[in-house]
Structure 1
Amino acid sequence: MAIVKDFSVEEKLVSLIKLQKLDSKLDQIQILKGELPMEVRDLEDDLAGLNSRKNRVEEEINGISDYINQKKAAIKEAEALVQKYEKQSENVKNNREFEAINKEIEMQQLEGKLAEKHIRDANVELAEKVKQLDEVKKKIDDKSTVLETKQKELGKIIAETEKEETAVQKEIDNARTDIDERLLFSYDRIRKNYRNGLAVVAVERDACGGCYNAIPPQKQSEIRQRKKIIVCENCGRILTDEELAESVEIK
């Protein structure tokens, strides 16, 4: 913070009024953008979440497909073993060998049937995952279209206001250097407390221009004298007389 010289109360008020008007002008530029920046950020977050979900479902689909392929391979292996054991059964020498081979054949046939059941169940799950994937992709397409439109709208507004916004911000930075550090701190604190960003207001129709609470005549007289910084007892905003407020102009 630059060192500032000792200004009179009226000069301090003029600097505060100027800063307030510049800040309010910048606020108006931001209002022109409306809620578009927030909408764009929300849409970007939504898309990031949907893409993560899409990737997760695709991984699940790949996993199920691999599982099905493994079971198909198991079926082929079981069929091959059945053929092998059936061929061996033609050369058995006793009932014990025959029963042992038959048991192996039955076991491999059961393995094949179990693998087929696993494949059927997996195909049901796969169909559900494919359906989920299609739904997610549709949501991504819809959100992407809306996001593109919003980004274009925001880009157009930014292009229209960027030059003015930069110029106003530069004036604000310059105006802040003319204000005492403690006074500037109070101004910033008050401004943050109110959604409309008004920290310095004029007395209008015998009332505070911020909260519209009545200002006593004696207090109004002190405000017009500009001998000290006076704040509204109700809302805490810095008060100035209407004449001084109107005399301060910005580009």
Structure 2
Amino acid sequence: MFSLDFVLKEKELEALKSIQEKTLEIQSLEEEKQHKAVEFRLAQRRRSARDEEQRLKRREEVYNRVKKELIEAESELQMIVQDIERLESMSSEDISHRVAQELAESLIQKREEKDDKEKDFAGRSIQIENLEKSIRDNRERLANIEEAVANREKEFNDIVNQKDENIKSISKEIEDSCSDLDEKVVARFIDLAKRSKGLVLTEARKDKDFEDNIVFICVACNSALPSLCLEELEEKGCICVCSNCGRWITN
């Protein structure tokens, strides 16, 4: 009732135990790979590199815009200077009194424009210098981050590749062991292993219930085992199935 519908020889049982150990070992290696990914924080490092790239891109866009404005300001300043020089070169003898007054006013206005434009030009020049320094710093930080990411990725990949090689080798051993067993037994074992995190074979452990009565429980799920299951296990030397988790209990 509680036993498997097939009988396993001692050699077959030992083979299944070996397969289970190797399956759990593979599972452990896969978990170690995941833990290493968290430990190395590669995703965060890559995100940091992308963020730095975006900051650099924005600063370069601002730099190009300010650089263009600086060139335009320089051109406008040159035109104002030329206008002032032209106005200053005009002889008062060649113009009327009214025109002379207009000329004087134009000179004052142009000189004010020149002062404003020079201040604007100086301010943009300082802004350009600051942006150039900021861009250099950004590029240096980005280079350092990319180098760190590349080094960590190489170290991580070396570890993962080694674990993958181990997994491949263990998987081959499992495959060889399975080839010596009945296909139906292997199929049921693998199906249960997928549903029970690789742990198929377990044992019964003596314990006490709330009334201090001796009971036997499934080591895998801590559920009490029916007495009939224990009788079959002891009398026939077969494998019982836990009615709660479905794992195979060996004597």
What is the correspondence of 1:102-251 to structure 2 with a 5 Å cutoff?
102-159=108-165, 161-168=166-173, 170=175, 177-179=183-185, 188-189=194-195, 191-192=196-197, 197-205=198-206, 206-213=216-223, 215=225, 217-224=227-234, 225=236, 230-233=241-244, 236-242=245-251
Residues 180 and 171 (structure 1 numbering): CA distance in 2 closer, same or farther, change over 3 Å? closer
Residues 66 and 167 (structure 1 numbering): CA distance in 2 closer, same or farther, change over 3 Å? same
Residues 34 and 58 (structure 1 numbering): CA distance in 2 closer, same or farther, change over 3 Å? same
2:43 corresponds to: 45
What is the SS of the residue equivalent to 1:203? Answer: strand
Q: 2:32 aligns with which of 10, 35, 39?
A: 35
1:246 corresponds to: none
Moved more, 164-173 or 103-112: 164-173
Q: Distance in 1 between matches of 2:178 and 2:46?
A: 37
- 5+ residue gaps, structure 1, are 1-6, 243-251
- Which amino acid letter does the alignment assign opposite residue 220 of structure 1? L
Residues 179 and 111 (structure 1 numbering): CA distance in 2 closer, same or farther, change over 3 Å? farther
Query: CA offset at residue 82 of structure 1?
Result: 2.3
- Relative to the length of structure 2, the TM-score reads 0.67
Q: Do 1:201 and 1:209's aligned partners in 2 also have CA atoms closer than 8 Å?
A: yes
What is the SS of the residue equivalent to 1:164? Answer: helix
- Which amino acid letter does the alignment assign opposite residue 170 of structure 2? E
Query: CA offset at residue 77 of structure 1?
Result: 0.9
Query: CA offset at residue 25 of structure 1?
Result: 0.8
Q: Do 1:54 and 1:136's aligned partners in 2 also have CA atoms closer than 8 Å?
A: yes
Residues 176 and 87 (structure 1 numbering): CA distance in 2 closer, same or farther, change over 3 Å? farther
What is the SS of the residue equivalent to 1:178? Answer: helix
Q: Do 1:74 and 1:115's aligned partners in 2 also have CA atoms closer than 8 Å?
A: no
Query: CA offset at residue 177 of structure 1?
Result: 4.6
Residues 226 and 119 (structure 1 numbering): CA distance in 2 closer, same or farther, change over 3 Å? farther
Moved more, 125-134 or 180-189: 180-189
- Relative to the length of structure 1, the TM-score reads 0.67
Q: Distance in 1 between matches of 2:90 and 2:231?
A: 123
1:83 corresponds to: 81
Residues 115 and 47 (structure 1 numbering): CA distance in 2 closer, same or farther, change over 3 Å? same
Structure 1 residues 150-186: Cα deviation after superposition (integer angstroms, max 9, x where no partner): 3223333433x25523414535876795159888656
Structure 1 residues 198-231: Cα deviation after superposition (integer angstroms, max 9, x where no partner): 2332324544231455545443113444889632
Q: Do 1:200 and 1:240's aligned partners in 2 also have CA atoms closer than 8 Å?
A: yes
Residues 18 and 232 (structure 1 numbering): CA distance in 2 closer, same or farther, change over 3 Å? farther
Q: Distance in 1 between matches of 2:177 and 2:60?
A: 57
Q: Do 1:10 and 1:226's aligned partners in 2 also have CA atoms closer than 8 Å?
A: no
